[in-house]
Chains A and B, each alone.
Chain A
Amino acid sequence: MNQKDRRKTLFVNHTIQWHYLKIVALAMFLPTFLATACLYYLIWQTVAHELALPELIAHALFPAFHRVNQIIGFGLPIVCGLILFFALHLSHQLAGPLYRIEKELETMVETHDFTKPIRIRPRDQLHSLVEKINRTLHTATRKPH
């Protein structure tokens, strides 16, 4: 990746990024937590149901249960952090170019310079939209023969 194209900030102050961040984060968090919670409940309950005898549950299952809870306690913040990072990254791929298009168009209107094309990062979304805007600008600013 070009040094120039590297993402410096992952969050542009744009309502659209908030919106996509929420959608992406929810789409990742909800299935993750639902599946984990269901499996967690189902596995423990099934094992406890099979063991059945209170002493056996207390002797065999409780230590394992506490150990798994400790692992989850440490692992869950890491998983949440990773999910948030990916959600931020994905939402920025969409919100970043929008922010850039908006900013570039604003500069064009202020400076009356419509010759400079809008440029977005290669891995960002909305390439086809930017390309069409650039073509429109190029056609509009071309001197008539």
Chain B
Amino acid sequence: MDRKRIVRLSFILLPLLFLFLQILWQPPSQRPQKIQRAFQALVPPLGIILHYFDFNERNALARWEDKMFQGRVAYWIDFDDSGARLPARQGFIHAKSIGATSAIFYRIKFNVTDYPSLSWKWRVGKFPDKSKVLDPKKRDDFAARFYVVFVSRFFTNFHCIEYLWDEFLPEGTILKSPYTDRIKQIVIQSGPASSSEWVQETQNVFEDYKKLFGKPPKMKVAAIALMTNASGTQTEAEGFFDDIKIGKP
């Protein structure tokens, strides 16, 4: 065996030997946990993705349901103009509301204790103009919002977190939904529209739920939804969404 190979092998075997001795050093009752922890330390942390929506196919919204509240918002798959050829084109959801409110809804069941991480990219083309509206229900218009819906056995027992992008409200603002206390809204992006730059969001839904509802979730997530709406203000709004990932960090 040449010297190079021995050096390479020693890089693998010596830490393993060290690990083995360390495990032996522990009292027998603590050895299983120690072995588990040691292996966890050896294996690089890999994020597990439960579901990934890349929206690169033209029919990527086929399994998303349209849910109309007041009028219909146009949601479609758009592609960037980077000039890439068809197979490599990057698709995204383009949403445009002209005085309408409707959402796209994807039913997916998972436990946030198992898959707490939710990430997506979004940007805003146009915010609804709320300057002339005072009624809280009419002010419930946002250019981009992301829903996580928790459902129990009976429909009255649901909870919902809405992640919002608002033009003026500071990040971290928690809003009460004008419809029910079971919906909690949190502003996670604030500021003016940037039509070209995507903003990456990563949320720990489990922690957010605890923060917003004051207790850990008992219900499973039943769906996620996206919405761009402007029916309350009777103005226009435009939002873009892409790369939604549900998983664990």
Contacts and interface: CB of A to CB of B under 8 A. Distances in A.
A54 B155 contact: no
Contact of A56 (B67, B182, B223): B67
B233 to A, nearest CB: 16
A56 B182 CA distance: 13
Given A58-B182, A59-B179, A62-B180, A52 B158 contact: no
Interface stretch (A40-48, A99-107, A115-123, A135-143): A40-48
A53 B179 CA distance: 12
How many chain B residues sit at the interface, stated as a range, is 20 to 34
B180 A53 contact: no
Nearest to B150: A54
How many chain A residues sit at the interface, stated as a range, is 10 to 19
A33 interface: no
Given A58-B183, A62-B180, A53 B158 contact: no
> Residue among B65, B149, B155 with the most chain A CB within 10 A?
B155
Nearest to B159: A54
Q: Which 10 A-B pairs have the closest CB atoms?
A: A48-B155, A58-B179, A58-B180, A54-B160, A53-B67, A55-B179, A54-B183, A52-B105, A52-B67, A53-B103
Given A58-B180, A62-B180, A51 B158 contact: no
B22 interface: no
A53 B225 contact: yes
A65 interface: yes
B177 interface: yes
Contacts of A44: 154-155
Contacts of B177: 54-55, 58
Contacts of A45: 154-155
Interface in B143-179: 147, 149, 154-156, 158, 160, 177, 179
A45 B152 CA distance: 11
A28 interface: no
Given A52-B105, A52-B223, A62-B180, A57 B155 contact: yes
B149 A54 contact: yes
Nearest to B177: A55
B182 A54 contact: yes
Nearest to A53: B67
A61 interface: yes
B160 A65 contact: no
B198 interface: no
A55 B149 CA distance: 11
Nearest to A57: B155
Interface string B201-225: 0000000000000000000000101
7 contacts: A44-B154, A52-B105, A52-B149, A54-B182, A58-B182, A59-B179, A62-B180
> Residue among B105, B179, B223 with the most chain A CB within 10 A?
B179
Nearest to B229: A55
A57 B65 CA distance: 16
Contacts of A62: 156, 180
